[in-house]
Amino acid sequence: MEAGKTPRLPPNGRRCQLLMIKTSLYLSQLRESTRKLSAETS
């Protein structure tokens, strides 16, 4: 697999992948904010 080329995905597969990326980003932000909150309260 070449680095520059992305695998061809069907439209629904791409949408699913985008949703997964958004979800993981949201979860990491949530984890970061809860860490900051717990650091402030302790």
Kindly report, residue by residue over 1-42, the tens digit of the pLDDT: 456 776 676 777 788 889 999 999 999 999 999 999 999 887
Of the CA atoms within 13 Å of residue 10, those in its CB half-sphere come to 2
Query: In angstroms, what CA-CA distances link 8 with 11, 13, 17, 18, 38?
Result: 9, 9, 12, 14, 43
Has this prediction a pTM greater than 0.75? Answer: no
* Euclidean distance between CA atoms 8 and 10, whole angstroms: 7
* Euclidean distance between CA atoms 24 and 27, whole angstroms: 5
Say what the pLDDT of residue 2 is. Answer: 59
